[in-house]
Amino acid sequence: MDPVLVLLVVGLSASATVLVVVFLRGSAARARLARLAGRHQAEALSTLEGSVLDASPVGAALVDAADRVMWVNEALCQFFGVTRAELVGEAWEDVVRQRLAPVVEDGEAFVRRVLDAPLGGPEARSECHVLPSERRPNRWLEHRVVPLPHGAFAGGRVEQFVNITALRSIDLRHRAAEQRLQELNRALVDLAGRGTLSAGDTERALAEVAESTARTLGAERVSVWLRTPDRAALALAHHHARSAGAAPPARDRIGAAGLPEFYRAARVERALATSDACADPRTAEFAEDVLGWDRTGALMVAPVRVHAELAGLLVAEHTGEPRTWSPAEQQFAASMADLIALALEARRRREAEVERDESRSETAHVLDSISDAVVRLDGEWRVTYVNRRARAWIEEAEGPIEIVGRRLHDLFIGVESDPSFRALQQAVRSGRPARIDRQIDARGLWLEATAYPDAAGVTLYVQDVTEQRAAERSLRASETRFRTVVESLTEALLITDLDGRVVYVNPRLAELTGYRPEEIAGRDALDLFFPGSVHASVRESLERVAAGRGATYEGSVIDRGRSEVPVSVAAAPLRDAEGAVSLVLHILTDLSARHALALEEERYRRLFHDSVAGNFVTSVEGKLLACNEAFARMFGFASVETAIGHDVVGLYPTEGAREEFLDLVREKRTLRYRESEFRRVDGTTIHIVENVSGVFDENGGLVELQGHVIDVTEQRRLERELREAQQLEAVARLASGIAEEFHGLLSAIQERARRLGEAPADDAPGYLDDIFHLAGRGLAMAEQLRAFRRPRGGERAIDPAEVVTTVARTLERSVADRVTVETRLEDVPGTVVVDPALLEQVLLALAVRAREAVGDEGTIRLETGLRGPNDDEAAEGSFVIDVVDDGPRITPRRLAHIFDPAEGDLLNASLPLAQALAHRMGGRIEAESTRERGTRFRLTLPLQPAGHGAGAEHADLVVLLADEEPAVLSVSGRILRRAGFGVLEATGAVAALEAAERSPQGIHLLVADAQLGARDGGALVRELRERHADLPVILTSGDPEQGSRQARALRASFLAKPFGPRALLDAVVDEIGRWQRRTRSRSSNGGDGRR
């Protein structure tokens, strides 16, 4: 069955809910409705319970014309926590007062508004707040009354209650936001109106901003950070905490390098707001590292920008309940940051104003304190400023008058016709400074004005130059007299004023500098004559002279060609007639000659002290007078100061070595490339090459020694290792060649013997002859090998061709297969007296050098004779040995220093030693190198006539040998006798004393063992020296340490056992040579050299 009445909710808006009652058309429907409204009203109401009205969210109560509640829907019951049974059938007024008002806030007002509400229209609406309970939630309801004009309920109405809780919440939030915005605006207006921001007091302004920000935003801490003066970081400028126990930030300085994300965000965002600063990548580092957070919190950072540049930060911290910063609060923080920027600008303006005021005050004070007058005129010649001095002059001339603001024409009548004013007008028109002189006849004054025009007017600096003009007249009067005197001086004279401007120069200064006097008059002498290095001295002298004192200094002057001439300057004051200092007299003395000498001395000093060689100067007694650092370092001194004064005699290896060295210097006066052995101060041995010159007095006596030494210890060690390696290589090649030769001979002998056993008897003699011939060849080779082991003596007369042949054979066995060794030996009428071992060592060094130069292919020639490199005759009495190779040419520069140890290379490392050994033999080595003829090293030795030998030289010298071993005595005696010495042999100390007594020639050398039975060698030495005071001694021992110590105590040489023949002969020859030189030295000084 179709319903006859439908109450339909058709719309709900923010302002009203429209309830439409739709009636069905037709008389049948109306009759049905009448029955429902009359007799069957209860059924009609029952039908309404299931209609859409009961499901509507709008609370509704159907009240009839008698003001009784006919029906209520479920929404109304839920709103007020009541039931239908409690309301239906009751009077509406009772329902409102008893059921609804008790659960509504302000129930009495609610009753009035509901019961007095008119029907329909906006004015029929009212709001009420339903208090929450267990049966009802918290709600805001809007009450409306809708009349029912037709039908069964005609004259009735519908009381509606619409749930506006959501709308009310939105409205409350809008009102709260509006109130918050007003609060923020009031805080900004209040802070801006205080005047602190514009007062320039930045510290106070920051404190007020931080306090207002913390109070307004409810932040626990607010800090202000400002850019440091160097713009490298931001520093904490102020910190405000709402609670007393709040800690300040962990750091007080932050840089961009440590917080890149934070800085990047701060540069571009107006306000940097986050509800969780530690989780936000923009602020995480700042919150944890700078603020020291270890918890979740909200953070707001507002950048402070001045002229679009980041000048600081305003930071607000909230660490309580979770918080989200509203847009209004972000805008507030940004506005606060703008206020900080205004405060910074105000401070800068204030500082600029203070600086400007101070500058103006200081300028006015300075201008008032100077003795010159200062006047400022505008474009209409009106006076805008005068200082104290200018005011005094004007009032002195015109009387007390008002000056500032008046035109120049009013102050000085007729000024237009004054020449000085016309000159001033010309300066203003040209825009260039001008100087104007004027003499005021009435008062006898001379005034000098300097005009400086500009766009706004002109500034005049006026000086009283009356005294200056008088001084100039006086100066001109005396100038003629002065010029006559000074122009004849040989010293250079310069006269300047106290400011250094040239007043006069005499002809000598013009000659010294190359300027004409008229070119330099009036110019600044400081810039014209003196280089920058002496400007301070010149200014100081001018100040001293201005104070009435003289001054002297040394420096230089610059001539016309900008060259510096060293001079000494004496400056003195020149006074005027009143005794005041007016000019400065500079007397310049040319020091070129003295400086040249000093420069030469400095060059020598640098050459002496900075050389890599050890330079030294010693007295004859052995005192070290001077040395450089290289010498001190070479001999183990801590410093040059420690070395000076040291006795160098202790540096020689033996006691007599110093005397031997002095004898050589007296004899040769200059020693070149002398290789010697010395001891450092710590006792270690060093090898040096020394070049020494003696300084002799007018009587020819040696007074001083000068020279330099080069440490070749390391070089000698390397050479020794190289020689040993070369010797091992040569021995290996020699052994290989000899083994091949012997293998061939033995194979041939073996073959001949086999055939001999198989041959008939008639053929046996032929095979035996072959065997004997081959064995003879083997014996000859064995004899040659024995020659290498044969004892070598000291200096003796030899045929150098034998040594050359031996070296050539050795060289042939050590060169490559494609290297040819040639010898060209000429018969020479005479011999050379040398140590064969030394000669062999020199030739081997030259030969090895030639072998390394040619490499795997080439030719090496060894030549002897009397001819020179170009087949010319050599010097008379000299013998030459040439070692020639066709290896690469030596450059002239390297050839010039090939014997210098400091310039040597690996190929030529042995040449300095070879040259030193050649000098020791009395000869020399020369070198030449060309592309056509290769490289030639020539050894030149003194040639002895035929028949001259070492035996003749030593025939009258007797050596006493003392030892307990007869075998040692026998072998040593044979060695020395073969060298030409007379020999006495004694077994034990007693026999040695008896032999010395019996010798008719005496003894010239003792060679004794350190232990001679009951009496040691030391006792024997002391007894013999009581009879022969200067007896040279060689002590021998099998204990090197003990023996050498005993030898030093006895002032003797030492020879360690076991020793070879060559070592014995070298030691004897060296000791005899030293003794002979000492004897000759004493003879030349008037002593007796006999024993």
- Which tens digit of pLDDT belongs to each residue from 999-1009? 888 888 899 88
- Within this chain, do residues 942 and 959 fall inside the same structural domain, yes or no? no
The number of angstroms, rounded, from the C-alpha of 1075 to the middle of its chain's C-alpha atoms is 61
- Within this chain, do residues 882 and 1028 fall inside the same structural domain, yes or no? no
Rounded to the nearest 5 degrees, what angle is found at the Cα of 743, between the Cα atoms of 740 and 748?
130
Indicate whether 761 belongs to any domain.
no
Report the side by side order of strands in the sheet with 958-962. Answer: 982-986, 958-962, 1005-1009, 1033-1037, 1053-1056
The whole-chain average pLDDT of the chain stands at 78
- Within this chain, do residues 197 and 340 fall inside the same structural domain, yes or no? yes
pLDDT of residue 870: 46
Indicate whether 781 belongs to any domain.
no
Whether the pTM exceeds 0.85: the reply is no
pLDDT tens digits along 958-993 = 888 888 888 778 778 877 887 778 888 888 888 888
pLDDT of residue 150: 62
pLDDT tens digits along 741-770 = 677 778 778 777 877 777 787 777 776 766
Indicate whether 638 belongs to any domain.
yes
* Range picked from 744-748, 908-912, 1030-1034 for highest mean pLDDT: 1030-1034
CA pair distance 375, 378, nearest whole angstrom: 10
Exposure string over 402-419, b if 16+ CB within 10 A, otherwise e: ebeeeebeebeeebeeee
Domain of 846, CATH number, reads 3.30.565.10
CA pair distance 419, 404, nearest whole angstrom: 24
104 pLDDT band, cuts 50/70/90, is: very high
- Within this chain, do residues 26 and 123 fall inside the same structural domain, yes or no? yes
Q: 1030: closest CA among 991, 1071, 977?
A: 1071
579 φψ region: left (φ > 0), alpha (ψ -120 to 50), beta (else): left
Residue bearing the bigger pLDDT, 635 or 1040: 635
CA pair distance 1071, 1035, nearest whole angstrom: 12
Indicate whether 782 belongs to any domain.
no
- Within this chain, do residues 181 and 307 fall inside the same structural domain, yes or no? yes
Q: Is the pLDDT of residue 22 over 50?
A: no
- Within this chain, do residues 413 and 541 fall inside the same structural domain, yes or no? no
Among 86-95, 255-264, 916-925, the range scoring the smallest mean pLDDT is 255-264
**In the 8-state DSSP scheme, what is residue 14?**
S
Give, for 493, the enclosing helix (H) or strand (E): strand 492-497
Q: What is the mean pLDDT of residues 671-681?
A: 87
Token pair for 172: 């409350």
779 pLDDT band, cuts 50/70/90, is: low
1083 pLDDT band, cuts 50/70/90, is: low
CA-based torsion, 655, 661, 664, 669: positive or negative: negative
1025 pLDDT band, cuts 50/70/90, is: confident
Exposure string over 573-597, b if 16+ CB within 10 A, otherwise e: bbeeeeeebbbbbbbbebbeeebee
Among 81-85, 378-382, 481-485, the range scoring the smallest mean pLDDT is 481-485
Indicate whether 275 belongs to any domain.
yes
Q: Is the pLDDT of residue 648 over 60?
A: yes
Counting residues of the chain whose pLDDT is more than 90, the rounded percentage is 6
The number of angstroms, rounded, from the C-alpha of 186 to the middle of its chain's C-alpha atoms is 60
CA pair distance 1056, 1089, nearest whole angstrom: 30
pLDDT of residue 102: 92
Q: Is the pLDDT of residue 872 over 60?
A: no
Q: Under DSSP, is residue 1048 helix (H, G, I), strand (E, B) or coil?
A: helix
882 pLDDT band, cuts 50/70/90, is: very high
Give, for 502, the enclosing helix (H) or strand (E): strand 502-505
pLDDT of residue 1004: 86
* Range picked from 280-289, 689-698, 885-894 for highest mean pLDDT: 689-698
Last residue of a domain, one of 711, 738, 763: 711
Amino acid residing at 783: E
pLDDT of residue 869: 42
Task: Give the long-range contacts of residues 853-857, CB within 8 A, separation 24 or more.
Answer: 853/885, 853/887, 853/888, 853/907, 853/935, 854/815, 854/819, 854/885, 854/886, 854/887, 855/816, 855/887, 856/816, 856/818, 856/819, 857/816, 857/818, 857/819
Last residue of a domain, one of 591, 623, 653: 591
Amino acid residing at 743: H
- Reported as half-sphere exposure (CB side, CA atoms, 13 A), residue 749 has a value of 14
Give, for 771, the enclosing helix (H) or strand (E): helix 764-789
- Within this chain, do residues 240 and 310 fall inside the same structural domain, yes or no? yes
Exposure string over 768-779, b if 16+ CB within 10 A, otherwise e: eebbeebeeebe
pLDDT of residue 883: 93
Q: What is the mean pLDDT of residues 17-26?
A: 38
Q: What is the mean pLDDT of residues 835-859?
A: 84
Residue bearing the bigger pLDDT, 5 or 674: 674
Query: In degrees rounded to 5, what are phi and psi of residue 511?
Result: -70, -40
Considering only CA atoms, give the Rg of the chain.
64
* Range picked from 30-39, 343-352, 362-371, 631-640 for highest mean pLDDT: 631-640
Q: Is the pLDDT of residue 8 over 60?
A: no
Q: Is the pLDDT of residue 696 over 80?
A: yes
Residue bearing the bigger pLDDT, 36 or 465: 465
Q: Under DSSP, is residue 791 helix (H, G, I), strand (E, B) or coil?
A: coil
pLDDT of residue 1015: 67
340 pLDDT band, cuts 50/70/90, is: confident
Token pair for 227: 């850019």
pLDDT of residue 259: 78
- Within this chain, do residues 818 and 966 fall inside the same structural domain, yes or no? no
Among 180-184, 388-392, 698-702, the range scoring the smallest mean pLDDT is 180-184
Domain of 272, CATH number, reads 3.30.450.40
- Within this chain, do residues 401 and 442 fall inside the same structural domain, yes or no? yes
- Within this chain, do residues 551 and 641 fall inside the same structural domain, yes or no? no
Last residue of a domain, one of 948, 977, 1011: 948
- Within this chain, do residues 652 and 617 fall inside the same structural domain, yes or no? yes
Q: Is the pLDDT of residue 523 over 60?
A: yes
Among 148-152, 297-301, 492-496, 577-581, the range scoring the smallest mean pLDDT is 148-152
Token pair for 755: 């055939």
Token pair for 238: 């102020």
Amino acid residing at 938: R
CA pair distance 1015, 964, nearest whole angstrom: 11
pLDDT of residue 365: 77
- Within this chain, do residues 27 and 129 fall inside the same structural domain, yes or no? yes
Q: How far apart are the first and last CA of the chain?
A: 176
**CA–CA distance from 53 to each of 10, 145, 331 (Å)?**
11, 16, 49
3-state secondary structure 266-300: HHHCCCEEECCCCCCCCCHHHHHHHCCCCCCCEEE
pLDDT of residue 734: 57
CA pair distance 331, 180, nearest whole angstrom: 12
Indicate whether 758 belongs to any domain.
no
Indicate whether 358 belongs to any domain.
no
Task: Calculate helix-pair angle for 327-369, 165-193, nearest 10 degrees.
Answer: 10
pLDDT of residue 4: 32
Domain of 1007, CATH number, reads 3.40.50.2300
The residue range of the domain holding 409 is 372-464
Q: Is the pLDDT of residue 91 over 90?
A: yes
How many domains is the chain partitioned into structurally? 7
pLDDT of residue 975: 79
Q: What is the mean pLDDT of residues 698-721?
A: 84
Indicate whether 1089 belongs to any domain.
no
Domain of 658, CATH number, reads 3.30.450.20
Q: What is the mean pLDDT of residues 305-322?
A: 83
pLDDT of residue 10: 32
